Amino acid sequence: MLRSPARPDSDLPRDAATDTGAGPLGDLPEWDLSDLYPAPDAAEVKRDLDWVEEACERFAADYEGKLADLDAAGLLDCVLRYERIDLTAGRLMSYAGLRYYQQTTDPARAKFMSDCQDKITTYTAPLVFFSLEINRIPDDRLETHFEANAELARYRPIFERLRAMRPYQLSDELEKFLHDQSVVGATAWNKLFDETIAGLEFDVDGEILGIEGTLNLLTEQDRSKREAAARELARVFADRLPLFSRVHNTLAKEKEVEDRWRGMPTPQTGRHLSNHVEPEVVEALRNAVVAAYPKLSHRYYELKRKWLGLDTLEIWDRNAPLPMEETRTIGWDSARKMVLDAYTDFSPRMADIATPFFDKGWIDAGVKPGKAPGAFAHPTVSDAHPYVMLNYLGKPRDVMTLAHELGHGVHQVLAAGQGELLASTPLTLAETASVFGEMLTFRKLLANARDDAERKVLLAGKVEDMINTVVRQIAFYDFECKLHAARRNGELTPDDINALWMSVQAESLGPAFSYMDGYETFWAYVPHFVHSPFYVYAYAFGDGLVNALYAVYEEGNPDFQEKYFEMLKAGGSKHHKELLAPFGLDASDPAFWDKGLSMISGMIDELEAMEN
């Protein structure tokens, strides 16, 4: 339950790149991390590290071997002490992680994060017994405790999630070993991947760029520039392919070993348990999306091929702007106004929650050497506030990314009232507020479109984003499923992984595309596969859920805004069935996903109608 560095609890960098255009962006904000700690060498950092060490030792001395004998009040005191440790350790790791992602190539920042991780891992080792002993308490005794103490009963979801792991729990000794070993296992490989990606250099027509700037070129109007960027990405990835292959082989094998020892039936089981979602719900989502490939991505990209006047699309055309699209740069102040206006139209309360992000140093927006690519929102801890990271380059898609990450931020602010252990939302619902924020912003821009040409560009852009969020992420999920299944049969060569990647690309993108030599390596830069295996279906889950939710909003559901805020405030305290019930929605109904996908299909219908 203790949190790891910034990225696993964050919205990981998104797939869509952005475009610079021309003109000034204005003053881009930077993080002020002093709300967490004044400096890495501040006395407060040492104070909290020392406190965590002592608190963990005292916690183990007071409770190890005794949890089953506690009465309800004693168990509540135990949970509250555990929560305070989680809060303090989370503050330390949030600060270390955020500083690191500002400049991953800075050895001092990398050392500070590693040292914090090592210390927190060591100090919290005595707490491993907590979940193991909780899972040995008989069900009827725990239920009696909940009935006797309402405050303890509030933590029921935490106990339920812990106890969901009971069938897969190892011995106390092995669990402690895995805890101690983690800093030289997945954590170390994650760090190697991050530092490698951040340090890559790409030479595009004589200009040396990092990965963010190079991916950004894939949305240039100039097709030759897009092609040059794609080919340079392929060249650099190919040079590092042995390393990326080693990272994936090692992490997949490590996961297979732990899953085998735990008796996990599938590589995906751990993710489903942590997301508090049933495997059949994810399978229904996956199957609905794959079945819809022909009427979604295949149909849209055939339209785009015609718009671009090409016999076949190359991979560098996937995120190309439309010929009728204006090349423009949106300054930071304009982006802020667009998003806050859209939030205000939905509810002034939503804009009020979002405004401090702009005014108080809660956003780091600029593109800088060594900065982690993409965008995320990190909740930090429940007695502080979230931080949003962007790589803002002034494209309309960047405005949507801002709306997306601010949605996360609003969600995290509201959920913080649940306290440290209950604030964190399972990944399946973590994308709800972010995608909803994007939808509000898109609908605002669409309503203000000057003519059919602008409406067409907006609709096409939204369809592309939805395809990236739904179709592409489910293809990513299928790639991971194939990768982990294949790794169980032995070491995978780079060519093996390349072949798995291409097997899902052609299926999901459709017949409008040709694939350049080198595209088979593009799995190498996707951070989700490294940091959070099987994370990616959460994007599709969130988009489908929000499409259904937005349809309820448009239908005029009574008190929708209040129900929406109550859902966000719940954090991780309720199951998705309970959260969606007030809106008349049920994600376990296979037909639920078809409703969400029909919204995308309907937008493509409208685009096709514009051709006639």
DSSP output for 48-99: HHHHHHHHHHHHHHHHTTTGGG--HHHHHHHHHHHHHHHHHHHHHHHHHHHH
**Measured distance CA(352)–CA(330) in Å, rounded:** 23
- In contact, 463 and 600? CB cutoff 8 Å: yes
**Measured distance CA(224)–CA(338) in Å, rounded:** 32
Tokens of 352: 């009020």
Tell me, what's the pLDDT at 18? Answer: 34
Instruction: Please compute the mean of the pLDDT values over residues 414-423 and round it to a whole number.
Output: 96
**Measured distance CA(92)–CA(245) in Å, rounded:** 32
**Measured distance CA(98)–CA(364) in Å, rounded:** 10
Let me know if domain 43-163 sits in CATH 1.20.140.70. Answer: yes
The SS3 call for residue 207 is strand
Mean pLDDT, the chain, whole residue set: 91
Q: What is the pLDDT of residues 42-83, one digit of tens each?
A: 999 999 999 999 999 999 999 999 999 999 999 999 999 999
Instruction: Please compute the mean of the pLDDT values over residues 344-372 and round it to a whole number.
Output: 96
Q: What is the pLDDT of residues 290-300, one digit of tens each?
A: 999 999 999 99
Q: Is the pLDDT of residue 576 over 70?
A: yes
- In contact, 117 and 183? CB cutoff 8 Å: yes
Q: Is the pLDDT of residue 168 over 80?
A: yes
Q: What is the pLDDT of residues 95-112, one digit of tens each?
A: 999 999 999 989 999 999
Tell me, what's the pLDDT at 612? Answer: 66
**Measured distance CA(394)–CA(410) in Å, rounded:** 22
Tell me, what's the pLDDT at 185? Answer: 85
What are phi and psi for residue 246, nearest 5 degrees? -60, -45
- Percent of the chain beyond pLDDT 70? 96
Least confident of 322-326, 371-375, 382-386, 607-611: 322-326
- In contact, 59 and 82? CB cutoff 8 Å: yes
Residues 6+ apart with CB under 8 A from 580: 545, 549, 567, 586, 587
H or E element, residue 202 = strand 202-204
Q: Is the pLDDT of residue 377 over 80?
A: yes
**Measured distance CA(317)–CA(321) in Å, rounded:** 8
Q: What is the pLDDT of residues 432-459, one digit of tens each?
A: 999 899 999 999 989 888 888 889 988 9
- Percent of the chain beyond pLDDT 90? 74
The SS3 call for residue 317 is helix
How far is residue 252 CA from its own chain's centroid? 20
Tokens of 481: 């499923």
Amino acid (1-letter code) at residue 607: L
SS (H, E, C) 322-370: CCCCCCCCCCHHHHHHHHHHHHHHHCHHHHHHHHHHHHCCCEECCCCCC
**Measured distance CA(330)–CA(328) in Å, rounded:** 6
Q: Is the pLDDT of residue 171 over 90?
A: no
Q: Is the pLDDT of residue 308 over 60?
A: yes
Tell me, what's the pLDDT at 21? Answer: 38
